[in-house]
Structure 1
């Protein structure tokens, strides 16, 4: 197939900048050549629109060209088959058969494309007819006519067997029982050999948050592609559910499990029996979510394909036609051309497959990809708390005892294996195992030094299994059993049906033996008899998961949200990965609530391998992608990609150089060297000098000033010192002071007041010239918040936010990189990774200010280490080439004063 060339003009909503044209051309060619692209476009340069117009222009051109090529090949092969080239009969017959098979494939692919086009055209025509005639939509009233025969057969068998002795189970309780599990291989996949139509070529667009995805959808609606490209937005049940009963649960875990419970109830069709002497009449009554009717959901899916809609519009439409937007979107994936979804849905294989996302031959675009490696690691790192382990053990033990006579021997065997594994982890965290005994000599910290200290140790997967005596378990079959039997969901329903296995009780004395208290807890739970709830009793609302910040030692009773066995299943699944790719981190705290076991993924490329190998092309894009080598080496090449497939593109900023003023400052107003290393940043002299810098800066900078500090603890220390020393009073004379809240629900209020103060003080003569906001690097305001125009005329970066070098997880990660990756510029890969963590956080924070072409701002980098060449080169290129290195504060102050006086003069003209 001939390679397509990018068009001279892209269908942009307005006249594009040159850098946007270059971005779209490079994107077009990368997709056409089936390459892996690393694209960097600074915030404010229209990256989202460039991605939309470049990718969808290629998709439209590729589809047209591909269809024309198929038609040409079909016609050409038909003519070739009719020709006789004079070869001997055997060669001719073989060649003819190959050509016929090839022709059949071409014809089949062309037929699928034409059929899909005809279907979409018919849907559009039907929609137009409905709009013109103003005829109300006719709902399909057909109910599902099929019944799960296996479920019914098992329910009948269990009812009959229960009459022979023991307690008669209610219809609701019958649904809690596990199906017979004859073997792990018996069922297999019934559809393995069936060929499925994968639909059309798709572009999967991923971003970090639902709000970013909604913004992307709105950008698509602004372009010409909003009229003819089929776009579907995927989101969580929490965002798309229209069932008010489920939405009231609030917690995502409870929403997911309640939704699945309702579906299982509908599928099983609870049986109601009426006995009359020797005869028995059975009446099946349908249950389930009223919004999950298959015909209505498919109808909603068709409507979603006809018009580009964001999540809010999908919810409105679903509520209007009484259909589920969550499942409507999943039904529509097959026919969609652009699928918009969150990171986690694509990166987690289980979630990806459950949603019906197929990578083979399609395109993946990951936006806001600057933290992609960390995101992959976090998605596949699993932590299980001591409380979750105890809760799962108690629930599963009671479940096993109650239904012991009704469960098959193989079910009981697997349940006991799960209990054995859970009990091994409880012993590990309680000091009763071989691995726990080794913590005393090999732990990273000792509890004897402080009452709040914890012990941590990292194990390889094989050593962890060996030391916990669980290496004799077949973890693969155990995970397979949990998935096929759906025991985690059954256990959740069981815990809702019976009280007594949900609560986790108080810890009496933190200093008491964890081993003895755990044993007594399990003994107490084992002795309890399940008490059935009243039939009409509602599920208790979830308690708040957020504890008071100022009461970290409060040992309140915790209610387990959902089935804790689900988290343990994820931990089991993580242990199945290559042993070299991960480690197990055991944290034994001074109290139960502080103890946990965690699977730590060290090699994110292992989980990105399928994306790289199966997709036609993968694009990772962001405002700051430096260092690019990290994505090239640790993501693409480590995932098995050929180096020739990787294409890198970086463009400048649309903001001219004279509109930014980046300054790297070595000394403060009294010639104190600005050294905010961990050893010196708490020095009162250093804090006093920082106060002087901020006071002087606020006198010349109009509007908003955002000051980023390395951590919440250091922000608290700085603010307390400034309050006691009078700096806050001096700052308040010029700007109203705000602080980043620790609680997410307070963020909007703080930002609103911050912006309101800036707007109100811009036109009065009170002496206050705006706002000062103390923020935290890596916090809620360092990403995704736009401080454009007067909201951010200066960004102050205090120190270099290097992560804690004493973190055992960080040490293990660095050792892993040193072992498996080559040195970069003579430095070990682990050291390079450590520095990159710091500067990626810096670049994200300082990028909050410049948001569009006419914006301007200053950037003040406070630390003598910023004047090093390596530090300057680690900054984005559009900033690094304009950095002013100032040893004396007077020089820096002069630059700031002139910069803002010039901007004020230009504004007045």
Structure 2
């Protein structure tokens, strides 16, 4: 993959990225690429690949923070120059005095802030050393105890409060006027406090928004963020002490981790609800002006001092989410809301994918991307992540449960419901009935899955006459889902026997339904609705919404941010990110980079096994390995595969991991291997077990347990019991795209060889993939025809134009399909090499891996380690290569 020209002057003085270790060449290349994208700005995009084990996270931190601090110092000087420019014509001595005063004022603020944070750090350290922690007031546990419930006050939908002066797009509009005023006084929401009761007033500075897929990955990032030391964000020569030759103090990075209420709520009566949707509704319910027992932890005028202490503690300590929870609990102030007071002065804000990818979530948290930097780590998941954020599903069993809960609720409160409340509850009932009727009818048909017509779903019971936008808004504003489900849970708890354990909160089926109804309001061209019967004996059926294209959902991020960096260990192939996330962005605005690995070339052996015997053309060889859907069940080929794995296990020490295309095919292969062979004394399975302890990943099984046993068999074989003397190490049979193929570390002895069996293409005949392919073809053709030079928009396009556009669109759809396969392969391959001194062999078992089309979609470091012509040398050639490779490593 060709790399776009980097916008960093190669002749300029080398940048000091303040890396805590001596960086490798590939790390310097990666950091220069990130720095160049951020410096260029103006909507620049970087798609950067750095293999796992090359210190990608630390390289991202060092390059991004070096740029940010340099940018801040430049802005500092630019501000002084602007002051001088505005005083043009004044005497030089007046300009000098004005500049000196401004410089002293800016530096004084910086020094006072850093001194305050240093005092907090010193206090925290002292308490840790004394081992007694801070004397924190504890939450009154009595609030969480069961108490008599005023049903009408708690669950009845009374007259809704309304504020005509609140903009409808205000994410805090669900709160009462009083609450919004209190939040405004602590610097939260749209209105900012004109003055703070604190001398550390924060300015809204340029920020880096860093997001990753999982909570543990964000925690690891924050841990890495604590390693480097960066120069201050003001010129060093202005800081006290530096003028006398002293070393200027380092400036700790101001980092704020954002998360959901589910992880940050410290109110026991809310946190115990469990589900995110119930917690969200109950939290906002407790902010309403008529709410009984309003949340005591909400930032307000009375706890303004604690809120500012929370902000300063966050800036002083580089906390993760657990730390935020503890800081808030110690100060008795809500970490979810109080964290927003730290956003204006933050340099780095960490958050999980959903909080960045959803516009409504960004607005609710006060996140502004304009002029700021967005870094998306583990970005090979980003298109799936966008689809998952907007995905929704609902089951027939859930709809029946919703209908039951609505019936119970209406029976209790129906006579008290007035006006709009009565109408809207009835409308929700009609929608539930219509969806129930459609799914119940589909359950009786022969088709197990297919595409559902959105209009047909609501044609029963007059539901097609209902305005879904108004109904969804009403449910959100009135907290109807929370009230109905809360009342149902309350009744269940009352009806439970005294000896029973505490009743579990009811499944939030109405929240699930609302998410699905919201998906129905999306543009019909961008998504599809599917139905699927669930496996027996459930006798259930579900509706699922699938977002077909991430372009529109991601466009608000790409268009707002100063720069966007997509970084990952296995980003290849790059074309999908360009075509589906940034389809209208000029090539000059996209920088791509595929870094090499930090390991020496001698530590990697990549072999393509095209056939069991040598053949100049494996495609025509009768014993060729081709695990296509049509040929993968061939018994002779499966037996040859088994013999290949047996031979690999006889040469490779310690751990061997074999990835199959699917769980179903893994089961099929194992069954064939376990069957006795007429001409052989032992089955393939028995031969494998004689070489290594064999483990197998199962769908729905515990991957942690299998991984633990596999590790133990390699690292402590004596604990496995009386093993045969011929057994050395372990063999793990896994699945591409399964739990073992991503996020699992097979470093060193755990993964001396990774075998990929076939190309794991998705099922192109599934309704979901049919819809994806159809969407890509139609949208690509429309885009090409509309953008063709010289084509009159009102004129009928020529047949040549149509044919060319359609041919190009079909090819793009095929590439997207193949790229999805190769991304999964690349993820599995990346499980083995994890650090500079690691070494491993990669065996690609399928003749198609030897084709140029497939090889160009492998990461550059894998292509660099390929043995040229290996696809023609058969099993004998592979054994020779593996023998030589591992013989050379025995002395390590």
Aligned 8 A contact 1:6 1:29 in 2:
no
What is the CA-CA distance between 1:310 and the residue it aligns to?
A: 2.9
Are 1:578 and 2:533 matched, yes or no?
no
Aligned 8 A contact 1:454 1:588 in 2:
yes
Match of 1:648 in 2: 592
Q: 1:113 to 1:580 in 2, by over 3 A?
A: farther
Aligned 8 A contact 2:847 2:871 in 1:
no
Match of 2:450 among 456, 463, 469: 456
Q: 1:322 to 1:646 in 2, by over 3 A?
A: same
SS at match of 1:667: coil
Query: How many residues matched?
Result: 774
Match of 1:498 in 2: 491
What is the CA-CA distance between 1:666 and the residue it aligns to?
A: 1.6
Q: 1:140 to 1:902 in 2, by over 3 A?
A: closer
Match of 1:587 in 2: 532
Aligned 8 A contact 1:266 1:288 in 2:
no
Where in structure 2 are there 5+ consecutive unaligned residues?
A: 1-6, 93-97, 141-147, 174-179, 181-188, 194-201, 231-249, 615-621, 677-682, 785-804
Match of 1:15 among 12, 22, 27: 22
Aligned 8 A contact 1:795 1:859 in 2:
yes
Match of 2:415 among 388, 405, 411: 405
Are 1:354 and 2:364 matched, yes or no?
yes
**Which structure would you say has the larger RCO, counting Cα contacts within 8 Å and 6 or more residues apart?**
2
Q: 1:258 to 1:575 in 2, by over 3 A?
A: closer
Match of 2:226 in 1: 221
What is the CA-CA distance between 1:420 and the residue it aligns to?
A: 1.6
**Structure-2 separation of matches of 1:183 and 1:297:** 28
What is the CA-CA distance between 1:803 and the residue it aligns to?
A: 0.7
Report Cα offsets for 1:239-296 as digits up to 9, x if no partner.
55667787777xx51x66257536745766876xxxxxxxxxxxxx667679999555
Listed as ranges, the matches of 1:39-78 within 5 Å are: 39-78=48-87
Aligned 8 A contact 1:814 1:829 in 2:
no
Are 1:865 and 2:848 matched, yes or no?
yes
Q: 1:49 to 1:329 in 2, by over 3 A?
A: same
Match of 1:473 among 451, 461, 466: 466
Q: 1:289 to 1:669 in 2, by over 3 A?
A: farther
Q: CA RMSD in A?
A: 4.0
Q: 1:591 to 1:737 in 2, by over 3 A?
A: closer
Are 1:231 and 2:217 matched, yes or no?
no
Match of 1:601 in 2: 547
Where in structure 1 are there 5+ consecutive unaligned residues?
A: 84-102, 144-168, 272-284, 441-445, 448-452, 501-530, 543-559
Listed as ranges, the matches of 1:871-882 within 5 Å are: 871-882=854-865
SS at match of 1:828: helix
Report Cα offsets for 1:33-80 as digits up to 9, x if no partner.
111111111112211111000001111111121122123213422447
Listed as ranges, the matches of 1:826-837 within 5 Å are: 828-837=811-820
Deviates more, 1:822-831 or 1:854-863: 822-831
Q: 1:723 to 1:117 in 2, by over 3 A?
A: farther
Report Cα offsets for 1:387-432 as digits up to 9, x if no partner.
222222222233234223333301111222222222211111122x
What is the CA-CA distance between 1:125 and the residue it aligns to?
A: 3.8
SS at match of 1:568: helix
Are 1:634 and 2:580 matched, yes or no?
yes
Listed as ranges, the matches of 1:346-745 within 5 Å are: 346-431=356-441, 447=446, 454-459=448-453, 461=454, 470-499=463-492, 539-541=502-504, 560-561=506-507, 563-587=508-532, 593-637=539-583, 641-668=585-612, 672-725=623-676, 726-743=683-700
Match of 2:205 in 1: 200
Match of 1:786 among 741, 745, 751: 745
Aligned 8 A contact 1:708 1:796 in 2:
yes
**Structure-1 separation of matches of 2:163 and 2:529:** 27
Aligned 8 A contact 2:377 2:566 in 1:
yes
What is the CA-CA distance between 1:213 and the residue it aligns to?
A: 1.2
Aligned 8 A contact 1:70 1:110 in 2:
no
Match of 2:789 in 1: none
**Structure-2 separation of matches of 1:117 and 1:627:** 48
SS at match of 1:12: coil
What is the CA-CA distance between 1:532 and the residue it aligns to?
A: 6.9
Deviates more, 1:852-861 or 1:169-178: 169-178
Report Cα offsets for 1:791-824 as digits up to 9, x if no partner.
1111011111011121011001101101112679
Aligned 8 A contact 2:449 2:767 in 1:
no
The TM-score, its normalising length taken from structure 1, stands at 0.77
**Structure-2 separation of matches of 1:489 and 1:425:** 21
What is the CA-CA distance between 1:351 and the residue it aligns to?
A: 2.6
Q: 1:410 to 1:719 in 2, by over 3 A?
A: same
Q: 1:222 to 1:632 in 2, by over 3 A?
A: same
Match of 1:25 in 2: 32
What is the CA-CA distance between 1:664 and the residue it aligns to?
A: 1.0
Aligned 8 A contact 1:366 1:619 in 2:
yes
Deviates more, 1:344-353 or 1:785-794: 344-353
Aligned 8 A contact 1:67 1:110 in 2:
no
Q: 1:856 to 1:170 in 2, by over 3 A?
A: closer
SS at match of 1:805: coil
Report Cα offsets for 1:455-481 as digits up to 9, x if no partner.
42243x567666896443222222222
